[in-house]
Amino acid sequence: MEAAFSELKSRLGKLTDLRRMEALLVWDMQVFMPPGGVPTRAAQLGTLEEIVHAHMVDDRFGELFEELEPYAASLAYDSDDASLIRVAQRDWERARRVPADLAVEFAKVAAESYEVWVTAREDSDFAPFRPWLERVVDLRRQYIECFAPYDDPYDVLLEDYEPGMRTSEIREIFAVLAPELQSLVAEQATEEEDPFLDGPFPIGAQEALSRELVEAMGATWDQFRLDPTVHPFEITFGLGDIRLTTRYSESELNSLFTAMHETGHGLYEWGVSKTLERTPLAAGVSATLHESQSRLWENVVGRSLPFWRWFYPRVQETFPGRLGDVSLEQFHRAVNRVRRSFVRVDADETSYGLHVILRFELEEELLSGRLAVADLPDAWNTRFEELMGIPVPNDAVGVLQDAHWSGGGFGYFPTYLLGTVLSIQIWERARAAIPGIDEQIERGEFGELHHWLRENIYSLGRKLTPAETIERVVGGPIDPQPYLAYLRDKFELFATV
């Protein structure tokens, strides 16, 4: 039994190494690689995916799982070893449903499609990207068929990001949120200008402030990096090698919130128990849990009044020409205003959910065949105006604004809103557990919050299912009501100021 488990860990360690090598190639492609490297990089990713897939589906895993079944049954359900066997077997069984040639082709097409998307977004022209997206959608449909029969095609892709959740559950949650968010946007959205937020804000100074925030939240530069890219993301090469990315614009300060968002992702990965390193458990358990952390640090902490009581003097000091005469109250209100805006990643907390619901609905229709890729821009523009009440001026801030579809990331978008909702439930538990948390934040002290999150969420990695993790942390399933109450309370606060 000991020999079998040792072999399993060795095989899984090598597989984890290979997956992280793939991640390294993707990170380099999106951060440093010149555009001319795309064809070669696509071939490299295809070759590596072929090797990874062969390791993942090896029959020897099945023999080891069968041999280790009595051992796993003798352990506590949430022990490291039992969890490793259970999760690895689930991943193996799922991988074996997918033909190697499909996995390899998808890896190549996703790499090539990304660079086409970058150029199309720069040119605000969907046409060159259309054939690539059609190919990506076709490959995703082929992938879905590997798991037939299924209740809903979207369930298959959702399982890759939020194991155990079904599309019907998302529809129920979003059915509660959509009318409430539309009503709140209609009630609270303003066209009032805050010209002091329009810059110029030199990029070097923004980067220095962003790095201060990353450090304050608990990250260390011997184990983190922060680099610019087109569409920000976080990626992990090891529990001591966390890569954050961001983007800067001299005309705005959204980079500060982006830094906090991506650091939230990074802290989650960094906080996984070191006993799980080089195993499939050494990662966040789901996209929703991941987004709950990025949104908690970005918004619940990062848009709060205690936070800006601490950090606003530093921002004023850095940009005295733009913010020197702007009061804390003015600035805090400005970064919390509800505005009808085009770009999801820059949206306020209230309208943000409508952006996500739009994408979820379009993804469902694309994958089911009810919407053709050729009709996607018109469908986007029509639905967006219905939801947000403003017409979309061009493709760059419309259908081309996110990178996810170029890489076939269908199924991820709903987790942004699910994670946002869950972040409030987690915050309520953290507040109850940490007396004086607001005062700590006002002093720029985040250690206790970080420790609580690490102990209760981060350290678990993938040992439990997403539903089990959520139940353990907040005592129940995802509930939209605390999030809606949080938004209403914030509006009442501003109404009394």
Question: Any idea which residues carry the catalytic annotation?
Answer: 262
Identify the burial level of 227 via C-beta atoms within 10 angstroms of its C-beta, where 0-12 means exposed, 13-18 middle and 19 or more buried. Answer: middle
Distance CA 1, CA 71 (A): 7
Residue 405 DSSP label: G
352, two tokens: 């943000």
61, two tokens: 């895993």
Torsion of CA 66, 67, 73, 79, to 10 degrees: -100
**Pairing mode of beta strands 234-238, 224-228:** unpaired
Contact 329, 497 (CB under 8 A): yes
154, two tokens: 């979207």
**Pairing mode of beta strands 241-246, 224-228:** parallel
**Which element (helix H / strand E) includes 318?**
helix 305-318
Distance CA 246, CA 231 (A): 7
Return the residue matching tokens 């199924």: 411
**Pairing mode of beta strands 234-238, 241-246:** antiparallel
336, two tokens: 């919390």
Contact 411, 154 (CB under 8 A): yes
Strand 241-246: give its sheet, edge to edge.
Answer: 224-228, 241-246, 234-238
Distance CA 86, CA 276 (A): 14
The residues, any chain, with a CB within 8 Å of residue 343's CB and separated by 6 or more, are 397, 401
Nearest 5°: CA angle at 494, between 423 and 265?
A: 25
Contact 83, 72 (CB under 8 A): no
